Structure 1
């Protein structure tokens, strides 16, 4: 059998002719077979054996032909079809008939046919078709004699393709001046075999071509731009075995712009498979420096919403923050009404990026006498150096009220009827409406009053008010009123009359104007019509009066000094006398106790001799005892007759009760008098200092009864008979002389002067 295969890549047909040797053998073989198979059965046979594997390049057309022999003795119109497990395009050569449809070739007995077909091997897209994978094809030859089919199997294997692609298109990046930024790029291994990828950067010109002198590299620096590739290890795949087919991988590109406010550059990021450097892809990063300008201002609020008096000022601090991405210059502009004066020492300044700066204080002053409660606004505007307004704020101020008055004029006048009149003119020099309260006082009882202006309130019914109130006096307005009084008529002595007018602000009671008008008047005896003619005695009188008026102060001082000296001298003498009396008392022995009634009789009973000295006189007459007894008895009153019976026992008890009552009353009076004296004398007597101080001990006092009835039995009385004796009441009449001394001493001590 003759075996032949024709394969053409991107060529219509490759032809080859068998040698003559094979031709002779085939002919002998053909005839031999034909003699044996001289019947109507088909006999088709393929030249090559099945199992052929063909390596094909992706993205091309491959033309193939396989020979087949008709071993039957008759012509056979063979129908060829092709099956495949791929979806690749396949057409019968020089036809538009797909390979899966019949293509008939008439083969004569013993003849050889070459069915030819074209297979379109697709390009590798996203890793397909894969390398190292066999794609199976089967050609079926169907005989027209008996429909017998013979098949031929072969396979196609696509060569390795190394390529990659970006998952994104060109990128536009905006940069802050001098601030670097990273962007992530994604690569896909679109080859049909695992491979390592490579990515590098290069600066590009405006046309997108690399700038002369630069080749793709991992980093570069151009015109202040710094560019580099990061995380390149990801491109090698896990463990460096490459990136899988149709797999994704990421890496970073970092770009740092120069520290300027404007600029652009193009960065080309070129990537390829490590096994196919010629097939590269590139993405362009368009980089632009963007200068974002902005700012904000804030005020500490010390002036906002406050009240300022005219010609007063306040200070507030302004802070400005640079919200842009680069250092910038700013300008502050303050707009305010004419009556608000604003002053700032620095209105243009520069601030670094992202920082806040306190500007010098802003001073706001009310430079006019504005009406009270006037409202004003100061607008603070923040501008860029180019004049663009980026922020503003408003400060609200109110004019506070000034309460002030000015007494413009005071005019005094006295008419022929001795009527003193004072005209007052007063002006409101504040900046708001105010009122006045006016009162009048005269220190002499005469007719007086006020003449208030219109629209005032006084409530007087007599027409001569001494007090009035007036409200709502506008700033800068004057108003007048009058006060009057009569000079006293026919006074007995000279004097001065004072008329006092108080003017007080209604809003500020601390503002008070006080005016005193003093008028001297003459007594009736000093008036011109009553003054006597000048004389010598009148001049002396006037001279003495003048002298007294000039030196009366010195005279009074001398008199007071003399009187004080005398009082002091008497006090010293009194003190010396009291000290001498006390020393005498301390050296004199205590007098004997007063003799009680009945004690003098005991002397005679005991036969005691009298201690009283007897003064003998030589001229005394000698009288005998009997004569003295008769004379003494004749002059003394007769002895009372003895009663035959004693008082009854009940009478004695009644008398005893009366005596006890009187004794208790007298003792209570003495105790009260002593207690009163102790209360009056707060300070202890100097003599108490000589006594030994003894601490008082608190305790309980058990009081004994003063009188107890006792049963006594005398020897001469009858047994069982009660004898009642008179009770002597212990009432001692105080010595009047001693009492007088005590009272005198007490009185003296009350006026005791210690110097």
Structure 2
């Protein structure tokens, strides 16, 4: 038994590959045969008629298969040809097949059942049987009252009823099924007794007439559709209940002509500048179903939208200064159904700054005034005011005192109408004055204009480098709206002006030329000077620089120096000396240039040329010594007295003042001493004291007291009384100095003697000395202690010069 099982296993392993080869497949999977037979249901055949029976095979398997099919059992009075039949189908594919069926002439009117057996070549064990019916019937004979295609003219937006007669000319009563087909979306329905959904049913007896009733809703003409003389087709089918025969009747529902128009889109109401023109676009359309023209007119209306009866409708209307017209509204233009066009409604505004108006547009298709479309379109005047102002010139940034400049501006009217602009000065610096050249300007819309706006004048007292802005605001006329602010920068230019005054040139007996000149800063800014000295001959010469001068130290003959920051209106004195040549072989002339340059503007220079004649060497030897000139000495003395008269007078006045003050002080001291003596308690006398009165007294040596004065203190007091002195321009005669010293010593001695006498009297009276008296100060001053120090400079010129900067 075990050997048998082993043999069977070996045989199975050998036979399995053979089975795979026979199936011609690459797999060894089991296969399920599936076949779907479609359309093999019921057929109708008449006596003596041959028909084709059509059906479809669908291989629902995954592999190619060959199907065989044949009639299972033959049926009496029915003949089938074309079977058996074999068809090969790939997996998932369909294939239509057919065979023929005929009925004998004597076949009875009945329903016969037939069966067809399907088998598979790939699967011998698979089979499938399909059963269908064959019905043998007499011929039906249904006829509609009209043949071909009928047409009906219909009006839009109506329900149209349709009726058609049908006749049964068969020998039997017929149960007829009616259905209707249309490709349109128009609504329809049956008006019959028996209906079920889309079908209607009617039994028609033989040789009788019946009617088919239905209704169709005709839609409105929308956007030109349905077109005129166009419409959908409807098809009615009558299916005979005898043999399934079908008769059909078709009819078209043609749309009648419909005229209409529409206003599709209207632009925004117009906003127009005064006196301007603006157009509003309007889209109109022929919404009828036939080509047509559009009638377009304007209608005048009031503010409440009511028509104005006195003004007829037209394509151009003028009212209240406004003019309205239609542009592009030609009536002869034919529009196809649903075709549109654009027209424009033009508005011309009056020359006013505020107004508005409405106009009514009327549109209807030709021949359809009852379908008039209207729309109201408005317009108003919108006065837009704007502008700008811009400074165009900049000529006031180097303005001299009393000089004037103009400022030019560019003004632009950015509004939409003629407008005026006003100007107003808002700010003016203190050192200038400003005046508008014009106060208003009128401009057309979009116009530019360049104009001179303002005149600016610098004050005569304006200082250099003063900065500021003249501010002018521009306004719209009769409003507070500021168009722009113009800022005109102003700057005062420096004026370099030096005035030469008091030029003195003198040559002394030693052959020295002295030059003195006073310069006054009459410009408008503090300035410095660079002073240079040049000569035509090589000879000693030098400046006598003031204390504030800047120059190189250690130079024997100073030829140049600088002075900084001389204020406005101040004087400055330049002094110099030149030794005339003494070694020239011939007589000649020395030319001396004193050059003064401004530090602020070095290119500006002031030159003063001095000259002096000198004597050559041969002529110097022939000159005889001058004899004593008494009259010349007297004249010189008089001149010296004149020159020193103020000094001598000051010394005398000072001496008198000092004397008076000393006397007044001594008087006050004496009074004070007397008051102290009176208030002092009297000492009590003892008995032995009165004998001392008769004792001989020895005379006491009293040392004479004198006032000791420091020379520097005396000099300071003297200068405080007489004021600051200026250096003498020429040497002072020593005799005058000696005389002044003698006078001062005389007055001082008298004062000292008076003080000494007062002190002696106090001592003799037994009173103590006055408070403030110092015994060590009772020494007589020596002459050199009271003599004031008077500087003497031989180089100075003997002419007094008014100089604000000399020290």
Compute the TM-score of the two structures, normalised by the length of structure 2: 0.50
Please tell me whether residue 116 in structure 1 is matched to residue 216 in structure 2. Answer: no
Corresponding residue for residue 383 of structure 2: 291
Q: How does 1:675-690 map to 2 (within 5 A)?
A: none
Match of 1:311 in 2: 402
Task: Name the residue aligned to 2:336.
Answer: 244
User: Is the contact made by 1:201 and 1:268 (CA closer than 8 Å) also made in structure 2?
Assistant: yes
1:429 equivalent in structure 2: 522
State the alpha-carbon separation in 1 of the partners of residues 423 and 533 from structure 2. Answer: 59
SS at match of 1:278: helix
Q: Does 1:103 align with 2:194?
A: no
| Mapped contact 2:411–2:449 kept (Cα < 8 A) | yes
Of 270, 279, 287, the residue aligned with 2:362 is: 270
Displacement after TM superposition at 1:283 (Å): 3.8
CA 1:214–1:79 in structure 2 vs 1: closer, same or farther (change >3 Å)? farther
Structure 1 match to 2:144: 46
Q: Distance in 2 between matches of 1:476 and 1:515?
A: 27
2 CA distance for matches of 1:407 and 1:125? Answer: 108
Q: Would you say the 8 A contact 2:268–2:280 is kept in 1? A: no
What per-residue deviation string (whole Å, max 9, x for no partner) do you get for residues 552-577 of structure 1? xxxxxxxxxxxxxxxxxxxxxxxxxx
Q: Structure 1 residues 130, 442: closer, same or farther in 2, change over 3 A? A: closer
Distance 1:89 1:431, change over 3 A: same
311, 322, 327: which one pairs with 1:225?
322
Q: 1:445 to 1:245 in 2, by over 3 A?
A: closer
Write out aligned runs for 1:34-73 (5 A): 42-47=140-145, 51-70=149-168
In the other structure, the counterpart of 1:179 is 276
The answer to whether 1:192 aligns with 2:289 is yes
- Once residues 425 and 95 of structure 1 are traced to their aligned partners in structure 2, the CA distance between those partners, rounded to angstroms, is 143
For the Cα contact (< 8 Å) 1:453–1:479, is it kept in 2? Answer: no
> What's the counterpart of residue 225 of structure 2?
128
Partner of 2:457: 365
| Cα distance change of structure 1 residues 246 and 428 upon mapping to structure 2, 3 Å threshold | same
Instruction: Tell me what 1:90 maps to.
Output: 188
C-alpha contact (below 8 Å) 2:261/2:363 kept by paired residues:
yes
Shift of 1:327: 1.5
User: Is the CA contact 1:458–1:467 (under 8 Å) kept in the aligned structure 2?
Assistant: no
Contact 2:434 2:454 in 1 (8 A): yes
CA gap of 1:250–1:373, structure 2 versus 1, over 3 A, is same
Cα deviation, 1:409-455, whole Å, max 9, x if unaligned, reads: 8899999x999999876543323453324467999999985431345
* Residue number in structure 1 paired with 2:420: 329
Question: Contact (CA 8 Å) 2:327, 2:344: kept in 1 or not?
Answer: yes
Question: What is the alpha-carbon distance in structure 1 between the residues aligned to residue 163 and residue 591 of structure 2?
Answer: 149
Deviation (angstroms), 1:71: 5.3
CA separation of 1:405 and 1:86: change in aligned 2, threshold 3 A: same
SS of residue paired to 2:429: coil
**Aligned partners of 1:90 and 1:98 also within 8 Å:** no
Partner of 1:505: 597
Please point out which of 235, 239, 245 is paired with 1:142: 239
Change (3 A) 1:472 1:170: same
Give, in angstroms, the shift of residue 487 of structure 1: 12
Partners of 1:231 and 1:251 within 8 A in 2: yes
Give the Å deviation of 1:211.
4.1
d(CA) in 2 for partners of 1:250, 1:440: 96
The DSSP-based 3-state class of the residue aligned with 1:259 is coil
Give SS of 1:311's match. coil
1:299–1:316 CA contact under 8 A, matched in 2: yes
CA contact (8 A) 1:451 1:481 kept: no
- 2:559 pairs with 1:467: yes
Task: Determine helix, strand or coil for the equivalent of 1:511.
Answer: strand
The equivalent of 2:657 in structure 1 is none
Matches of 1:472 and 1:532, distance apart in 2: 43
Distance 1:286 1:96 in 2: 62
Shift of 1:56: 0.9
Whether 1:81 aligns to 2:172 is no
TM-score scaled to structure 1, two decimals? 0.53
Q: Secondary structure at the match of 1:265?
A: strand
Identify unmatched segments of 5+ residues in structure 1. Answer: 1-38, 489-496, 534-755
Q: Is the 8 A contact 1:165 1:187 kept in 2?
A: yes
Q: Deviations over 1:108-160 (max 9, x none)?
A: 66666543322121211222111123643221111223212222232222111
Whole-angstrom distance in 1 between the partners of 2:192 and 2:437: 96
Distance between the aligned counterparts of 2:559 and 2:254, measured in 1?
Answer: 128
Alignment match of 1:320 (pick from 411, 432, 436): 411
SS at match of 1:162: coil
Deviations 1:594-615 (A, max 9, x none): xxxxxxxxxxxxxxxxxxxxxx
> Is 1:456 aligned with 2:549?
yes
* CA shift for structure 1 position 58: 0.8
Cα deviation for residue 173 of structure 1 reads 1.9
- How far apart are 1:470 and its partner, in Å? 1.3
Secondary structure (helix, strand or coil) at the match of 2:371 reads: strand
d(CA) in 2 for partners of 1:482, 1:188: 104
For each residue in 1:267-321, what CA deviation from the matched residue of structure 2 results, as whole angstroms up to 9, or x when unmatched?
22211111111112234332122222233445553x4375221221123444534
Structure 1 counterpart of 2:431:
339
**Match of 2:266?**
169
Distance 2:205 2:629 in 1: 188
Using the alignment, how far apart are the partners of 2:453 and 2:358 within structure 1? Answer: 48
Matches for 1:689-708 after TM superposition, within 5 Å? none
Q: How many Å separate the matches in 1 of 2:194 and 2:561?
A: 125
Q: What does 1:475-624 correspond to in 2, within 5 Å?
A: 475-476=567-568, 478=570, 483=575, 502=594, 504-506=596-598, 507=602, 509-512=604-607, 525=626, 527-529=628-630
- Using a 3 Å threshold, how does the CA distance of structure 1 residues 442 and 109 change in structure 2: closer, same or farther? closer
Summarize deviations over 1:345-368 as a string: whole Å, max 9, x none.
321233344545554552122225
Classify 1:437/1:148 alpha carbon distance in 2 versus 1 (closer, same or farther; 3 Å): closer
Please report how far the alpha carbon of residue 207 of structure 1 lies from its aligned counterpart in structure 2 after TM superposition: 5.8
Kept in 2: contact 1:440–1:499 (CA 8 A): no
Are 2:249 and 1:152 equivalent residues in the alignment?
Answer: yes
User: How much does 1:483 deviate?
Assistant: 3.8
1:381 touches 1:393 (CA, 8 Å); kept in 2?
yes
Root mean square deviation, CA, Å: 4.6
Could you say what secondary structure the match of 1:387 adopts? coil
Shift of residue 51, structure 1, vs aligned partner: 4.6
Secondary structure at 2:406 match in 1 = strand
How far, CA to CA, are the matches of 1:223 and 1:98 in structure 2? Answer: 71
